[in-house]
Structures are given as C-alpha cells and as structure tokens.
Structure 1
Amino acid sequence: MSAVPLLMDLPDAAGLTALAGGKGAGLGLLARYGLPVPAGAVLTTAAYHRAAAETGLALLPDGSDGGALGARRAALLRAPLPDAVAYALEQAVRERGWTDLPLAVRSSAPQEDSGSASFAGIHHSVLNVVGAAALADAVREVWASLWTPQAAAYRARFGIPEGEAAMAVVVMPLLPARASGVAFSCDPASGREDLYVIEAVHGLGEALVGGLVAGERTVLQEDPVSGGFAVQRRDGGGQAVRVLPAQGGGTRREPLTLQAAPVLDDARACELAALVRDAAHALDFGAPWYDLEWAWDGAKFWLLQARPVTARPWHTYPALAGQNAIWSNGNTRDVVPLPMQAMDWAVSRGLVDLLLEAGYRSAGFPLLAGARRARLFNGRLYLNAAFIQWEGYDGFGVSPAAMNRLLGGHHPEIRVTPRDWRARLKGLAYMLRYLVRTPALRRRGREQARAAFDICRRWRAEDLRALSDAELATRLASAFPHVQAQDGLLLLQGSSGGNLHMLLELVERYLPGQGHSLVAALMAGGEGSVSARQGYELMAIARRAMADPRVAAWLQAGAPYDFAALPADAPFRAEFARFLDTYGHRSVHESYVRSPRWREEPAYLLDSLPALAAVDHAALVRRQREAAAAAWAQLAAALPRSRRGWARQLLKAARDETPDRELARSAMTAYGEVARLRLLEVGRRMQAEGMLERPDHAFDLLPWEMEAALHRRLAPAAFRERVAERRRRFAEWERHCAADVIEEGSAPPAPVEGVDASAAAGGWRGIAVGTGHVEGIARLIDHPAEGARLGAGEILVAPATDPGWTPLFLRAGGLVMETGGYLSHGAIVAREFGIPAVVNLPGIRSVLQDGQRIRVDGRSGRVEVLA
C-alpha cells in the first residue's frame, strides 16, 4: 500500500476532498475537465497532520475558548515545518520553476467549498509570497487560521467535530491579473437559474472576496434557445486595488485610479458567463449552481476556485412564499422513468418550461419570469407541482386537488386563499383569451406536426458522414431552436387538458364521484390517437402475417430476425417497411435519445406480432362504442336539457385535444430520432480522435461540449474525464430508487403514502382512467420486452408506460399502473381502447403477486385481490 502523499499536482487532487481539501479537489476536477486552471500543487492534509503531531497539538487543551485556540495557533506559527514537508515544498517550487515567482498560498480544508458549508472568508490565504522562507511562513499562517475563533464557531454551527479539523494548502503562481472577481452560475439573491452574476474589480480580487471593496456587478441572462448570454444590467464602479507586500510580512492594499471603462465589457462578460456555465455543468450538470473565483490576465480567463452555492433561495410566486417547493415525478415517470444523461437533460430542462407555459401564454397569464419547472433528483426528471397547481388555480380557477388528479402523483396540495370577485374576473378573462386564441394555434400545431414528419424524413436521408465538422456543428445548433419555434406543437403537447378538465367538472357537478369513470368511457368513442392507430395497424399486419404460413414460421422462429430468410414475394415485407416508415421513429423509452428506434431495432415489434394476431379487433371496437354510448346515456339523463349541448361541445373538444397530445409527442419523438443520428455521428468522429471510447458516449455530453469537440476547443482527455465521471454517477443513480415526491423548504414535508399492504382485503383506490371493470390474472411486467408473458385478457400491472407499451394494451384485459394521472400516456390510450384502468397506486407492484387473480374497477378506481 503506497504512502499518503504530502504534496500532489492539482489534476492528481481531483475529487480527493479528504486529502486535498475542498478547494484543491475542486480545482483538480476543473483541471481534469480541461478548464483553464493555473498550474498548481496541493500540500495535503497529511502534511498538516504530520506538523500537528510534531508540534504537539494533541497535547494542548481542547476547547473553542480564546486561550485554547490561541495556544494552537501559536504552536503552529512558532514551530518549523517538518523536514519531509519542507523538502516536498522546496522540491516542488524548484522543479516547477517557481523559485523567484510571487505565489498565492490558499486554504483548502476538507469541509471547505462543500455543498453544505463554504467557509467563505473564514480561513486565511496569503498572496505575493516569494522565496522558500516566506512560503513556509505562509503555509503556517494558513494552518493556524484553522484555529481562529471564527473558524471554530463556523465548524460548531455546522456540527463539524474539532477532531475532524484539518487543512490542505493550494500553492500556485500569482496571476498578473488585470481584472478578477467572483461569478455565480445563478442569481444567489433571487435564486433565478437563468441569470448569471459577475462581480469584478480591476487587478486582484482579494479585496472583493474579503469584502473590502464593492465590485462592478454584471447580471447576464441566458437565452434558452441560442444558449448565448445578454447583459441585463450593470451596477457599481469596480474600485481598483493593488495588493503589495508589506514590511514585516503580510500584504497591503493600495487604491488605484479607476478608469471610466467597465472592468469587463459586454463581450468579455458573455465570454466569462459561458466559461462559468461550462465549469458549473462539468462539475454537476444536474445541480449546476456554483460560485467561482476568476482572473483575467489580459488575454485569457482563469478559474481559481469553485464551490457550490450553499443557500440558493427558491425563486417562486409571491403567493407561494413560505411554502415548500414540491417536486413530483408522478407525471414524468410515465414517459421518463429512468435516469437522464446529460444531453437528454440539457434538452428537457428548457423544453419542459416551454411546454407547460404554452397555454398560459396564449391566455395572457403573467408567468413568473425565470421560473424553472423541472429538476433532476437522482438523475430523474421531476416537475414543480407547486407551480403547476398555483398557475392552474390563479389562472383558470382549477383547484389544487383537481390539478393533482390531472397531473398524477401523491403530492400535497398548496395552500391557497379563496378567490375574490377580482380574481374570478381575471380568471374569466384568461379563459376567454385562451378559448379565442388556441383554436388557431392548435390548427397550426397539427400542421407543424404533419410537417415535422416530412422534415425529419428529409433530415434522416442526409449523408451525415459527408458533412464537414463545421456543417455538422451547424446542424446540431439549428435543430433545437427549430423545435422551440414550433409554438403550436408545444401547445398541443403541453396544454391539451383544458376542455377535459371542464368536462370532468361538469360531470362531477351532476354525478358526484363518477366524473373520472364516466369521462373515461365517453372518451373511448372518439377518433383514435396516433398511438392507438399505430397499434391497430400493427394488429392488422400481425393478422395478415400469421395467415401466411411462410411468414408465420419465420416469426415463430424468433430473434434474431434475418430478413434475407424471409420469402422475397411475401407481402409482409412491404407492409412492415411501410409501418416502419411511418412509425419507425418510436420505441420503448423513446423520450431518451439513447434509446434505439424501431427503425434500428424492430425485434420488439416482430416479437409481438404472433400474440397480436389473436386479438379480436371487432370486439375491441364494440367495447369502446358500447362504453361510450352507455356513459352518454347516463350523463344525458342526469344533465338538464340546457346543459347537454355544452356537454357535447366539451366532449368533442376533449376528444380532439387528447389525440393532439399524442400527435405532438410523436412529432417530438421524430425530431428526437434525427438528433440521435446526428449525435451518434459526432460520437463516431470523437471516438476516431480518442475523445470518446464509444460513439454512444456522446449522449453524456452537453450541447456546447459537443460544439467544442467539433471545433477542437478541448483536449481529448478532457472529454474522456467528463464522460467517465458522468457514467459513474449515472450508474449510481440507477442503483437508487426515485422518491415519488421531494419537498424543499422550511416547512416539514407532508407525508407521502403508498399503498397499504395490510389493506388487501379492502382493496386500494387510485385514479380511475379507463372504463368498466374486469376480473383476471395480474401479470407484473417490468419492461414491454417481457410482453410475451402477458396472456390475452390478463391485467397488465406496470410501473409506468409510454407508447412503446401500446401492443400490450391491445392484449390486456385491464391496466394497473403505479404512477400516472388523467393526462398521462397510459391513461389516454387506456381510455381509447376502452379497457378498465386504474393509475397512481405507488407501491402496488410490491403488494400484488404475479399470477394473482384481481379485480380492476375503472369506474371507482378500485383494485382488489380476489380469493
């Protein structure tokens, strides 16, 4: 076993917090990730422990009183460095050519610059250190700062035992800084994530960091479409200070004449913001909120320190102040149940806001600027349920409870005050604007969806290997802005539940407690969505395929499917090719760019054909029509004659809207397939140049990192390091379960309850999203690839579903899902197929047994185990 090093280069200190301290470990990571960090070394905590042992610190009195602390400081300042430590320092300075250079000697305690404690300004740093003797003095000063009253008080505040106190020291040449300061990858005052804040002074930044001068503050806003930055405002004068050696040691600060020009002009401020974004996301793309010290030497920006922002407030609506942020994956887990890679999150983070804002923008509702509705926890996508509830309530009067049922998930309701007549009048105005403006926008959305399939067909046909790196970079950079400009498509995907909600309210008013089940039955009579149509078309192909003995034998032989062995004159060839041409962009887990599409890997579809051929399509259609007719008869009997016309109008609108949501999803997935092909081509090129081990590791990169690769702005090792760390973290995310609800704030989190295993006798109640009831065998399916286990008429019990599960819906007699709401994909398709379905039963798969006989009541939302 090798000895613990006393001194190491910064890149070797990457992530070794216990040995190199927070500052040293963070700078080491930045260096490994290819970011501009000055050459430096870390005197490790092992050196401190050796000095403490030789100085006899353990023999001095314990305690945080002034006498005990003073004795420890005096002992460290008085004693010479241990011989091995002094030799390591002298050798490092000599070998690096730093003998006559002014050095910066900075503290780096293990708890420093962590996510919970920054120790900002607590420990000591020394600048302009020249020569071996001065360097030894500076190191002792830094060590001794561990035992000041303020350091002891800070540790006590965060519950850090005195026995864990230790200190590493970062040593690096002092940069000839023309400007320096700190920069934040968020607004630390408001918590806004789209704002970057730069504090700058002329010369060295120690006076700014130490609070001795007020710097020039520049606030920049990130453009979610282009990824660029724009200066929003600039405050302060950026007082200039020169830091010089003082007689008798230490430093002195001398004011300089400040020029009229800003410390950083707009172009340089934008350049620095881009660097800060890259550094913050390299360190943690899921929580990229960092405070970084920087310096500019007249030609280049350098990073001198990185620490997480430890007290970022929640940027929220005034009405939600004092309440918790409620993060839920009750709806998102339906389509993105797995951890996200960097590229998926980079796209989803901004797209979620655009989708959820689309309807409110058309209504003229004043959305909170800079609001973020999506977060990653353990790599999974969560939505801000508090925002969604508040905007629905304040905008359209939808109660938090009703919004929760639409959204899905077991999260608490926000506290709201009753709406007075002014609020109701505003809400009526929003609703009228929504009703007037959205029909035209929906028509445009359908046109944009149809156009998307043609556009993507052309884009897929392009020979990507023939493109230059610059041309490929242009293709990547233009794709996301193109999708974001599809305003109608965004509305279809993100705002297709308004009329459905009004229909639910109307039914509940006249038939209390039956709204969800009756509306589910009514919706079964509408025109099928694209997800349903692809299922019906696949079913028709299956029947014809199994009617051809040659094709049936080929299919029943199973994977691997060799199309060359299929008879050349079999009509199935052309039929299946046409299906893939229309629907080949889809797949299981299609929301992830890493998922191969059916066009690439059709085995899942081919596996499902024999079982689909046995499904009685006529019976399925008959069941839908009968359910819809019976539901309408019941509703019409309960409604006053004056309300029936309104009910028909709402039903028609809801039947139009719901397929719109699936159509938009399909179009978005088509764009996702093209993005996958382009990213894989970049990955292939990066692999050829040693930047990646495999082409699909490109999915672990962020958009600007991919652009940097195509323009050769980073060394190959930097990409490998970033990807290796993200893949390690991804594997860790996969090992952890995702909580249903995460609350952040000062209030105690509301308890989140799953199903009660002891309640088997009485059954469990979820959200009724399908019609009718069914008794049958429960078949617990983890992944649609296991679909062969599902017998015809058995009840599919799934964690979540996306369009890739549709072939199983056609065979299932009923559906039970742990997650989902009234607008989730599984709910939409279950209603269309007219199958009994209950969703939003977290933990139900842990209490049901595979093969158990159960009853699913799509009218009451109840699931029961039968004897």
Structure 2
Amino acid sequence: MILLNAQLPDPREAGMKAYNLSLLISNTFNVPAAVVLPKDYFACDEAELNRRLTELTQQLMQLLPSADGWAVRSSAADEDGITGAQAGKYRTRRIAHPDELPDAAVEVHEGGVPVILQRFIEPDYAGILFTCNPLTGEENLHIELVQGRGEQLAGGCLNPLYTYSNGSWSKPTDVPEKLLHQLKSDAATAAVLFKHHVDMEFCIKDGVLYWLQVRPVTAIPDSCDDSAGLDEGWFLLDQCTEPVTPLVRELDPGGFFQMPYWDTRFVRHYPYVRLKQAPAADTAALSSPDWQTLRSRFEPEFDRQLQEDLTVYTLQELWELAAERIKQNRAYVAAYLDRGWLKERRVTGEKLKEIISRYIGDNADVQLVLSSLTEGLNTLTYQKNAELHQLICAAGSYPDFNELSAAVLTGAPHPWGEKFNAFIHKYGYELPHPLALHLNTLAESAGDLLARIRAESVKLNGREKVQRPLSRESAAAELEQQMDTAEKSAFRQLLQAYRLYILRTEDDDYLLQKGAAAVRKALVEMERRFVANGALKEAGSIFFLNAAEIASMLSGAASGTLQSDIAIRREAFEAARQIRPELNFASAKAEEAEAGNCLRGVGVSRGLIQGKVYKVRNPLDREAYQHIPHDAIIVAPVLTPNLTYSIISCAAIVTEVGGFLSHGAIFARETGIPAIVQAAGALDWLNTGDEVIVDADQGVIHKLNK
C-alpha cells in the first residue's frame, strides 16, 4: 500500500492516475487524501488478499477519515496518460461504509488494475476544465461548473450551470472570486507542469478547492487541426515548409511556439503565427545588444555542446542535458528576436530610402538602388557557397570521383578528402531548419553532400563561376556627388549601419542552426541508446514520442502500445509532408496578363536574364538541390539560409513570398544574379522547363512558351 503524497510513485505499479495526482500534490495542489493499492498488493492468493482487505477495512476510518465516504478508483498504466485518457474504460465505486471496501476494491481491480482509495468530498460545486479548446487545440481556458456532484457533467448527461470561455463567465457565479482566480492559476500551472494542455476535474466544498483528476488533452483529431478561421494575418512560421514532429512541438526547443510577439496555431503539423500588436512602449527608442557581443555570448557554448562527447552520460543525464540545451537555445532565440535591433534596422532602412529618393530621378527605383548599395556583404551563406564551389572545382580535377568518395567514407588519407572533412567540420551543424530537428545535420548526411558535389562537378565541367560586377561603389558615388560634406558623412554612416544590420539578418540564423543541432545531438544519443536496448525499433522514432512517454521509458514503464502509437503518428506526419503548405493566407493566385504570359513581383536584385525554370517546392529538402540544372531559373516558395548556399550555378531566383531582407534576396545580391520576390502563385503558374525572362529591374517574369 502506498500513501499518495509528494513522493512520486512508479507508474508501472501505481498507474498513471496515481502518478499524476502525486505530481499535483508535489506542486502544492490540494488533492483529497488517498492511498494506492498497487499491482503487487493484489499479487497473492485469495485468502491473503481477503486478509489484507479486511485489515485495511478496519484501518480505513483512521487512515482516511471521511464524513462523506470514499471513492474507490482505477489507476491503470494506460489511463490518463499522453496516449489517451481511456475515459469510461475502467471502473470507479463510491462507498459509504468501510465494510463495502473489499468488494469494491476487487471489482475496480478487475483486469489487474491498481486501485486508488480516496477520501470522497461531497461538493457544493463540481466541474471540469480544459486549458485549450479540445476541438481545435487553440489556447483557451474552458471551465464548466455544476452544483453538487460532477459525474453527470463529466458523462455528458447534464448541462453546466456556469461556463467560462474566451476570458469571461456565461453569467455571474456564486463561487467566491478568490476561488475562480485559483482555478485559473492552478490550471495554468498544471499545463506548464505536464508540458501539455490538460483536462482537469475538481470540486469545491465550504470554500475550499479540491483537485480530483488531471490528464493531458489527447483527443484533438488531425481533422480539426486545420486552417478553419485563419485569416490573412496568419503566415507560416519562419518559412518552415517541413512539418513539425510531436516531440519538437511539445518541447519547443527555441521557444518559437510561445513567443509574446505572436499567436501560434498548427495546421496539419505546420506552425502558423499571427503577429500581436506591439505594446505602446515599443514605439519608444529601444536598445539592442551588439551582434558581435551576442555572438560571443552564445556561439562558444553552442560549439562546445556540438563537440561534447555524450557517450559518458546516462540516459537520465542525457534527458536533463537536453533540457539544459533547450534553455540555452531559447535564451538565444529570445535575443535573436529582440525588437530593439529589428526596429533599428527598419528605421535605418527608411532613412536611407528617404535620402536615395531625394537624390535620384523621379523614375528611378529606390529599392533597386538600395539593392546595389547592399551588395558584397560577405555573409556566412556567401562564404559557405564559395567554399562549396571550391570543393566542387577541386573534385573536378580528379578523373575518378569514386576514388574521392571512397576516401571520405573509409577515412583513407587523401588531399581532397581532407578538404571535404574540413568543410564538414566547419558546417556539420547545418540543419535544414531550426524546427526540423528530425532531419539529419550535414555531418550526418556526408553521403548526400558527396552526391551533390558529384552532380555539380559534372554540370560545371570546368566552367568558371561568372559573377556580375558589383555596383555598390558606383551607386554610392553617384549619390554622394550630389551631397555636401555633412550629408555625405551622414549617408555613409547610415549605409554602413544598414549593411551590418543585413549581415546580421543573414548570419544570426547560423546560430539558430547551432543551437537546434546541439539539442538534436542530445536527443539522437538518447534514441541510439533506446534502439540498442530495444525500447525503440528504429532511428527517427524519438521525435514521434512526447515528454511523458520518454519519462516512462526512462523509468522502464513504457506503454505496450508505444510502437503502434509511433507508427500512427509517423503516418500522419508523412501525409502532411506530401502537401505544400500555404505560406500565408493572403497569397493571391497568379494573375496572368492579358496575353497570359507575365507575372509581377518585386525586384530585389537587379538584372535581366533568360533561362529555363526549375521548381524547388520544398526548400528544406536537401535532395532537391542536387538536380538543379546549370543556369536554371529557380522558382521556390521561399529560400532559407540553411540550404540556399547549395545553389551553385543558377541564373536567377523567383520566390512567392519574401522581401528586400529575405535570405534569397540577400544571397542573390551577393552572388550577382537577378531576383524577384512576392511573385504570388509562381509555383502554380510555371512548370519546370518553361522558358522565361526574369526582368528584376521591372519586377516581371515573362513566360515565352505556354
């Protein structure tokens, strides 16, 4: 027999309901006194069990004094867990006299279920609450109250007397305001405690709140995880064109899903956000840490984490290590999204545009002039692209690429292999997206990189990389010749500051990759151990678990349905990968001109070029970059810094969304190729192989064949 208290019981013996209630007690929630009869309590012959239950009957009033009787409740291992509530599957009995205990305990235990014996509270009010809308999963505290007992309310046989939803009660209640406030406060605490939205049952007697049950909300169907109600203010979070796995959604390694700057909602496993209105204080001047200061604060720690030998840790220590790394990563993301520097970047850009418009002709395009002024930044993406190009050219000087590949894969000494390994060592942390922790890093994908280099070396075939001459100096000189000394000095200071802001816009994403990769490394090492001991069947499975399931595995109490649960989640996830997510809910479809052969966007890197279209539907798919033909016109929903460097030999870039500061735009200006963004509907309007003219100076794509 186990006294239910702050000492957490083994869920394998006491069941999940008892474990959850103990977790509440350990965090100062008021739970009616109870004892647990674990599985081994019943592991005896009938005579011994009768003796134990008779002894407990005699002790009951002293052990759990109650004027209202007792509740004899089930506490199965699969009850009230993350994989399902199992509501109605097991029994509960209320007894008024201790003599009823033996029969009730045997009845509830049927099938080998642990039993909770708990003081019954005859309530003035009883109720149920959800910390989210159970139909959609949207953040919304929902409370239902009735007078008296809550069984009929929980069973759906009685309408609530009072309902709280969307921040208000359906009508004034007789419940003291202090208790209503405690309900809301405790519910929020429980959701944080369980790292999941929760469904809780409670009662109130003589002005005291009692918590009777808590379980994760598990009944949100995928069919309800849709775009209903999303208006034009919602857009795909950080161009995440890869769905988010259950574990990443729950752990939220970067804190992206609970940012104060936006609301978050998932649609078929894809994260969408809607910006909140900035507080009035945000209009005041804001200070922001210098980028190099921020970088020196976080990058050395991320580098240490990526190089750390994790084989020395136990599984439990790895789980704790993952939590520490998540905390560190969230701290960086919070600084990364600091409103101060974002405001400074915006204000500086507006001042520069005002100066440019003052000195150029009425017909000149301010945006294109600014694009010339911000060429040649030498971002990390550009450096990585240049180093990859050098690696490809070096490979082309060897007659047999198989020799190079074999040297890398076997570890045999080879001059080119050393260069390849140096590239991997420098950029091995690369993740296609900081939310796509289920995807391999570059270091884990050496074979993919070799295949990409092989393909590119064939396409280049000795061609030199031709880059458009930079026009930054001539564009600046043309403006400055019209300025006096003071204006020229102010202009140069603004331009230098703006170029540094754009450099940070591109380079700070690399620390996002490092922080996320460090978290992934800890989780993958845990997964390797779980696969080795047979708890998991294959690589990648850990990302389809949730935190409670991992905790159960660490304690050796994994559910018997775990493998089938993983398979079901993976199937839903893979189905989501087959769709092309909306980038935002304001995207217009392509509006073809009268002749049906042109589409407008916004030019962000000057130039005019003719070529054939190659569509990249998922910019987070490494394999897609292996097949880009030489001098193709890349058409994509967006481009991210994570894999954009892979574009070795394209002639122009067209994206459906983005702006002057988008990663594809910055990359295009650095590599000297034309680029058009905001070409809504381009992926539907164009097909791979279409012959087009990209006129970035005018922001127009002309299709030459129908």
Q: Which residues in structure 2 correspond to 1:76-475 (within 5 Å)? A: 177-178=120-121, 181-186=127-132, 193=139, 204=150, 210-211=160-161, 214=174, 216-217=179-180, 218-220=183-185, 227-228=192-193, 239-240=204-205, 258=206, 262-264=208-210, 275-276=214-215, 279-280=216-217, 283=220, 326-329=233-236, 332-333=238-239, 336-348=240-252, 351-352=255-256, 357=261, 372-385=262-275, 387=276, 390-391=277-278, 427=283, 430=284, 433-434=285-286, 437-438=287-288, 440-459=289-308, 461-463=309-311, 466-475=312-321
In structure 2, relative to structure 1, the CA distance for the partners of 1:33 and 1:652 (3 Å cut) is same
2:662 aligned residue (809, 815, 824)? 824
2:448 aligned residue (568, 592, 604)? 604
Q: Which residues in structure 2 correspond to 1:9-28 (within 5 Å)? A: none
Deviation at 1:753, TM superposition (A): 1.6
In structure 2, relative to structure 1, the CA distance for the partners of 1:221 and 1:175 (3 Å cut) is closer
Q: Which amino acid aligns with 1:391?
A: A
Contact 1:754 1:842 (8 Å CA) reproduced: yes
Q: For 1:275-327, what per-residue CA distance to the aligned partner results, in whole angstroms no more than 9, with x for missing partners?
A: 44xx22574699899xxxxxxxxxxxxxxxxxxxxx9xx9xxxxxxxx96721
SS of residue matched to 2:560: helix
Contact 2:625 2:647 (8 Å CA) reproduced: no
Aligned to 1:400: none
Q: For 1:18-62, what per-residue CA distance to the aligned partner results, in whole angstroms no more than 9, with x for missing partners?
A: xxxxxxxxx999768555656538xxxxxxxxxxxxxxxxxxxxx
Q: Which amino acid aligns with 1:680?
A: V
Aligned to 1:115: none
Contact 1:792 1:811 (8 Å CA) reproduced: yes
Task: Report the RMSD for the aligned CA atoms in angstroms.
Answer: 4.6
SS of residue matched to 1:597: coil
Deviation at 1:836, TM superposition (A): 0.7
In structure 2, relative to structure 1, the CA distance for the partners of 1:222 and 1:754 (3 Å cut) is farther
Deviation at 1:653, TM superposition (A): 1.8
SS of residue matched to 1:810: coil
Contact 1:798 1:818 (8 Å CA) reproduced: yes
Q: Which amino acid aligns with 1:480?
A: I
Does the alignment pair 1:515 with 2:366? yes
Deviation at 1:584, TM superposition (A): 0.8
Query: Could you tell which deviates more after superposition, 807-816 or 753-762?
Result: 753-762
Contact 1:814 1:837 (8 Å CA) reproduced: yes
Q: Which amino acid aligns with 2:235?
A: S
Does the alignment pair 1:485 with 2:355? no
2:560 aligned residue (717, 722, 737)? 717
Deviation at 1:472, TM superposition (A): 1.9
SS of residue matched to 2:444: coil
Deviation at 1:711, TM superposition (A): 3.2
Does the alignment pair 1:814 with 2:652? yes
Aligned to 1:666: 510
Report the Cα distance in structure 1 between the residues aligned to 2:142 and 2:160, rounded to whole angstroms.
21
Q: Which amino acid aligns with 1:352?
A: F
Does the alignment pair 1:533 with 2:383? yes
Q: For 1:329-360, what per-residue CA distance to the aligned partner results, in whole angstroms no more than 9, with x for missing partners?
A: 2x733xx1122211232355962367785xxx
Deviation at 1:719, TM superposition (A): 3.3
Aligned to 2:607: 772
In structure 2, relative to structure 1, the CA distance for the partners of 1:681 and 1:450 (3 Å cut) is closer
Report the Cα distance in structure 2 between the residues aligned to 1:227 and 1:648, rounded to whole angstroms.
49
In structure 2, relative to structure 1, the CA distance for the partners of 1:187 and 1:851 (3 Å cut) is closer
Q: Which amino acid aligns with 2:644?
A: T
In structure 2, relative to structure 1, the CA distance for the partners of 1:761 and 1:347 (3 Å cut) is same
In structure 2, relative to structure 1, the CA distance for the partners of 1:582 and 1:221 (3 Å cut) is farther
Report the Cα distance in structure 2 between the residues aligned to 1:531 and 1:194, rounded to whole angstroms.
41
SS of residue matched to 1:835: coil
Q: For this pair of structures, how many residues does the alignment match? A: 571
Q: Which amino acid aligns with 2:695?
A: D
Report the Cα distance in structure 2 between the residues aligned to 1:228 and 1:33, rounded to whole angstroms.
13
SS of residue matched to 2:516: helix
Report the Cα distance in structure 2 between the residues aligned to 1:703 and 1:346, rounded to whole angstroms.
8
Q: For 1:622-670, what per-residue CA distance to the aligned partner results, in whole angstroms no more than 9, with x for missing partners?
A: x352x22343244446767654433322322222122323332212212
2:395 aligned residue (545, 561, 585)? 545
Deviation at 1:842, TM superposition (A): 2.9
Q: Which amino acid aligns with 2:267?
A: F
Q: Which amino acid aligns with 1:344?
A: V
Report the Cα distance in structure 2 between the residues aligned to 1:204 and 1:784, rounded to whole angstroms.
54
Contact 1:186 1:196 (8 Å CA) reproduced: yes
Aligned to 1:629: 473
Aligned to 2:695: 857
In structure 2, relative to structure 1, the CA distance for the partners of 1:821 and 1:353 (3 Å cut) is farther
Aligned to 2:522: 678
Report the Cα distance in structure 2 between the residues aligned to 1:518 and 1:97, rounded to whole angstroms.
74
Q: Which amino acid aligns with 1:533?
A: Q
Q: Which residues in structure 2 correspond to 1:643-662 (within 5 Å)? A: 643-662=487-506
In structure 2, relative to structure 1, the CA distance for the partners of 1:760 and 1:769 (3 Å cut) is farther
Query: Unaligned 5+ residue runs, structure 1?
Result: 1-26, 42-95, 103-129, 132-172, 231-236, 241-257, 290-310, 315-322, 358-371, 397-426, 556-560, 743-750
In structure 2, relative to structure 1, the CA distance for the partners of 1:853 and 1:607 (3 Å cut) is same
Report the Cα distance in structure 1 between the residues aligned to 2:646 and 2:489, rounded to whole angstroms.
37
Q: Which amino acid aligns with 1:764?
A: L
Report the Cα distance in structure 2 between the residues aligned to 1:211 and 1:567, rounded to whole angstroms.
72
Does the alignment pair 1:570 with 2:414? yes
Contact 1:772 1:859 (8 Å CA) reproduced: yes
Deviation at 1:671, TM superposition (A): 2.4
SS of residue matched to 1:823: coil
Identity %: 19
In structure 2, relative to structure 1, the CA distance for the partners of 1:521 and 1:352 (3 Å cut) is farther
Deviation at 1:471, TM superposition (A): 1.1
Deviation at 1:483, TM superposition (A): 1.4
Q: Which amino acid aligns with 1:454?
A: D
Does the alignment pair 1:785 with 2:623? yes
Q: For 1:786-842, what per-residue CA distance to the aligned partner results, in whole angstroms no more than 9, with x for missing partners?
A: 445434333222233233543443311111122333333222222222211112223
Deviation at 1:521, TM superposition (A): 2.0
Q: Which amino acid aligns with 1:520?
A: S
Aligned to 2:113: none
Q: TM-score, normalised by structure 2?
A: 0.68
Deviation at 1:522, TM superposition (A): 1.6
Report the Cα distance in structure 2 between the residues aligned to 1:483 and 1:37, rounded to whole angstroms.
36
Query: Unaligned 5+ residue runs, structure 2?
Result: 1-75, 97-102, 105-115, 163-172, 196-201
Aligned to 2:89: 40
Report the Cα distance in structure 2 between the residues aligned to 1:761 and 1:638, rounded to whole angstroms.
43
Deviation at 1:852, TM superposition (A): 2.9
Contact 1:497 1:823 (8 Å CA) reproduced: no
Q: For 1:527-565, what per-residue CA distance to the aligned partner results, in whole angstroms no more than 9, with x for missing partners?
A: x22121111112222223322445x4635xxxxx43368
Q: For 1:456-487, what per-residue CA distance to the aligned partner results, in whole angstroms no more than 9, with x for missing partners?
A: 2333x221xx4323212211222211212237
